[in-house]
Structure 1
Amino acid sequence: MDALDQTPLHAKHYADDAEFVCASILENVRLARSTYRLRFGAPGIARRVTPGQFVMVRLAGLDDPLLGRALALYDCDPAAGWVDVVYLAHGKFTTALATRQPGDRVEVWGPLGNGFKGDGERLDRLIAVAGGIGYTPFLAVAREALGAASYGESPARSPLSAEEVTFCYGVRTADLLAGEADFGAAGVDLRVASDDGSVGHQGLVTEVLRQALEETASGSRRVLVCGPEPMMQAAAEICAAAGVRCDASLETPMACGLGVCFSCVARVKQPDGGWDYKRTCVEGPVFDASQIAW
């Protein structure tokens, strides 16, 4: 093995192939309370991005806020050259982004991160679990797993594949539920939980996960999770007890998205029993949940 291949800071571990574009906004539409879908034109990114990857987005021509924000792929159309991301308007950047109109421009770099990967097996059931805005990576995952879409240019990719996809989606209340029509159109078995009982199961989304696992105890399964860290940890523990692999897409705040600033590190277990910091933006955002030192 080349000595450089063993160096964590070797250039191949950075986002060498990320594309930077000043993209035109095509759509910026409200999906639910404070939740918006942004569509922008970026043909190069649309051809290469895969489920679970993300892009960094910032407002063109402005330096306040200066830093971009990491937004996961929601969907894309490689032929038409557009990419969709979904965001929650709650801070300075996202509140300003919600006011932008078609024809305005955003600066985008990507695709970034490792994304979700399969291992050649066709699962009986793929179960995705999300809390709040953590639902955004799972539409593309589901569409590809069910054979309704394909993503990325690389013929060497091994995407997730499943006979059925169940999506356990937790929200605080009904008016924060977004994207249900998109998941329905994709053929996903959508199961909703809400804190206040205004929609779906009243209680924790992990309770819905537990039920879904019990229904498929004899089949091949994998769980994907994204959302608040306590929820992801609870889901990982449920999966470990059931002997089911769980992959977690971390939402660690990022500053650069390129692996340079080390602001997005997560603690990942090592073979010697200890742990080390891994950068969510380049070694992640998807990690084997059993390897995360929660």
Structure 2
Amino acid sequence: MTPPPADACDAHPLSAAHYADRAAFEQAEILENVEIARGTYRTRVAAPEVVGRIFPGQFLMVRLAGQNDPLLGRPFAMYDVVRDASGAAVALDFVWVVGGKLTTALASRQPGDTVEIWGPLGNGFALEAPLDHAIFVAGGIGQTPFLALGKELLGKAGYGRDAARAARVTLCYGVRTSDLLAGESDFRSAGIDLCVASDDGSIGHHGLVTDLLTQTLDEAAAGEKLQVVCCGPEPMMEAVAGLCATRDAACLVSLETPMACGVGVCFSCVARVVDEDGEWDYKRTCVDGPVFDAKRIVW
């Protein structure tokens, strides 16, 4: 399925820069569904239409095929792209935590089962090149969009676009306890420096992930071009945004505002965002985001 031209999408009365008319819908076969941390799963699906268009920071909506409970899909960030021997993108991974009805049911799905997906959705990450150091800050399940982005910045994966490059990528990753740390080997294998904080001290730094960010920023050399990118619980993102503001460090946040439709129709995922005129307005996270300049968010 070929997406409509940009001008056709922009003519829509509710258009946004990343309106969902450009998404594809697929019945996707599950290839793998494995637990990678306590209550945290990595699901791999064969999705040639979606995977050929998606890039880091975008997301997809997932619905259980053949079921109407739950009726609506749920949003999942793209974790990684799987390529065949020729380098062609053939499947994608998304990582998630068991919580509600859909994820509880999804945990029991086996290879060969089918899910309905539509995407890519959202604006994704667009970083300015070149960077000396990209610093990711994640809390909870907020690490999920950063593996693909880190690979792209380090030149280890491409997504059919001109992308920024970074000499170094660091992930500051905060968890409640050690058995919730998900994807550690994936990040290290990609060449991403991993710094971990835990609330209970069971792994890494005993304290807040913002402590790790402070230390990383303190260690930056004078004149280095830095970019902080953050995803996780809103209080953590607000704290990161405030810290970056005091250091005059560029910061992007990927909001985790709950979404009901993912396509900009229901207006359930609005966030207060400052416009160019200095006044704030409600923006839909699913089509105007989920990635925003941290300075523009009204927390």
TM-score range, shorter chain: over 0.9
Q: 1:225 aligns with which of 226, 230, 233?
A: 230
Q: Structure 2: how far apart are the matches of 1:217 and 1:158?
A: 27
Quote the residue 1:275 is aligned against: 280
1:50 is the counterpart of 2:59: no
Alpha carbon RMSD of aligned pairs, Å?
1.6
Q: Structure 2: how far apart are the matches of 1:30 and 1:124?
A: 34
What does 1:150-169 correspond to in 2, within 5 Å?
150-151=158-159, 153=160, 157-169=161-173
1:265 is the counterpart of 2:262: no
Counterpart AA for 2:183:
G
Query: Could you tell me how far 1:83 is from its partner in structure 2?
Result: 0.7
What does 1:173-184 correspond to in 2, within 5 Å?
173-184=177-188
Using the TM superposition, name which of 69-78 and 11-20 deviates more: 11-20
Quote the residue 1:213 is aligned against: 217
Quote the residue 1:197 is aligned against: 201
Any stretches of 5+ residues in structure 2 without a counterpart? Answer: 1-6
Calculate the TM-score normalised by the size of structure 1.
0.94
What does 1:43-82 correspond to in 2, within 5 Å?
43-78=48-83, 79-82=88-91
Contact 2:52 2:89 in 1 (8 A): no
1:143 is the counterpart of 2:133: no
Counterpart AA for 2:252:
D
Contact 1:117 1:158 in 2 (8 A): no
Counterpart AA for 1:268:
V
> What percent of counterpart residues are identical?
63
SS in 2 for 1:135: coil
Q: 1:250 aligns with which of 252, 255, 276?
A: 255
Q: Structure 2: how far apart are the matches of 1:237 and 1:10?
A: 31
How many residues align? The count is 287
SS in 2 for 1:239: helix
Quote the residue 1:103 is aligned against: 112
Contact 1:116 1:160 in 2 (8 A): no
Q: Structure 2: how far apart are the matches of 1:60 and 1:235?
A: 38
Counterpart AA for 1:215:
E
Quote the residue 1:83 is aligned against: 92
Counterpart AA for 1:172:
R
Distance 1:12 1:116, change over 3 A: closer
Query: Could you tell me how far 1:107 is from its partner in structure 2?
Result: 0.2
1:124 is the counterpart of 2:132: yes
Quote the residue 2:4 is aligned against: none
Quote the residue 2:121 is aligned against: 112
SS in 2 for 1:282: helix
Q: Deviations over 1:56-98 (max 9, x none)?
A: 0010010101110100000012525101000001111101100
Counterpart AA for 1:39:
R
Any stretches of 5+ residues in structure 1 without a counterpart? Answer: none
Quote the residue 2:21 is aligned against: 16
Calculate the TM-score normalised by the size of structure 2.
0.92
Q: Structure 1: how far apart are the matches of 2:238 and 2:227?
A: 16
Q: Structure 2: how far apart are the matches of 1:45 and 1:23?
A: 10
Q: Structure 1: how far apart are the matches of 2:172 and 2:92?
A: 24
